Structure formats: C-alpha cells, structure tokens
Amino acid sequence: MTPATIAMLRAYLLTASLAAAAIQMVALLSIGLFGVPEAVFTSGPFRLVAVASVVCIVLVVKRIARAAFLSALSLDYATVTDAHSNTTSVSPVCPVRMLVILHLRFNRRPIAWATC
C-alpha cells in the first residue's frame, strides 16, 4: 500500500471511530438520564441504525471538509503548488485548516506543509 492510501484509510477510520464514539455517548446518556433499557442498545435494529449512522456521518463530514477546502482555495488559504501531482499547500493561519487537511487526506492528495 502506498503512504497516500494509508493516510486516506486512516482519515476514514478516524472519522468513523469519532462518529461511533459520539453514538456511544448518546446511548450512555440516554441510559443514564432517561432510563432507556440497556437491551435496546444491544438489539439488531439498533446495530443496523448505528452502522448506517456512522456511514452517514462520515459522508457528511466528507462534504463539510470539501466545502472547507473550496472555501480555503477561494480565499487563498490553500493553493495548488504543483498542478501535475495536485500538491496543495495550506496556510498555517487558515481558520479551517484541519478540515482542509482532512479533505486532502480523504482524496489522497499530497500536502506541502507551508511554514508561514
């Protein structure tokens, strides 16, 4: 596997694991605060809904990251430094830098780390 593919898979896995952690926190809060029986969260339908929710959250985060990337391009916080390899430089003062980098990782695009 190439390093770009590994970085892409790590980005997807990180996003999915954060989504799963958020779903788990909602389940724990609903058990503690609202008295929902624990058996609800071990059922098959809940597991299917949880998997579908993780997939939907990953897709939404991917769209948000793309919008942040396009915004950074239009405001010159991100520039394509090498048109042949699509290497992109992201300014360290970009307000949505983490989302821009996440978009670049999702799409296996090389990143040129700008220093100033």
- The residue segments making up the domain with residue 97 are 3-113
Q: How many domains is the chain built from? A: 1
Q: What does the pLDDT look like over 45-79, one tens digit per residue? A: 999 999 999 999 999 999 999 999 999 999 999 99
Q: How far apart are CA 77 and CA 92, in angstroms?
A: 8
Q: Residue 115: what pLDDT?
A: 66
pLDDT of residue 84: 80
Contact 106, 83 (CB under 8 A): no
- pLDDT tens sequence across 3-40: 999 999 999 999 999 999 999 999 999 999 999 999 99
> Can you read off the two tokens belonging to residue 14?
């990180």
| Those residues with Cβ within 8 angstroms of residue 31's Cβ, 6 or more apart along the chain or in another chain | 37, 38, 41
According to the model, what pLDDT value does residue 104 have?
95
**Strand 111-113 and strand 78-82: pairing?**
unpaired
83 pLDDT above the threshold of 90:
no
116 pLDDT more than 80? no
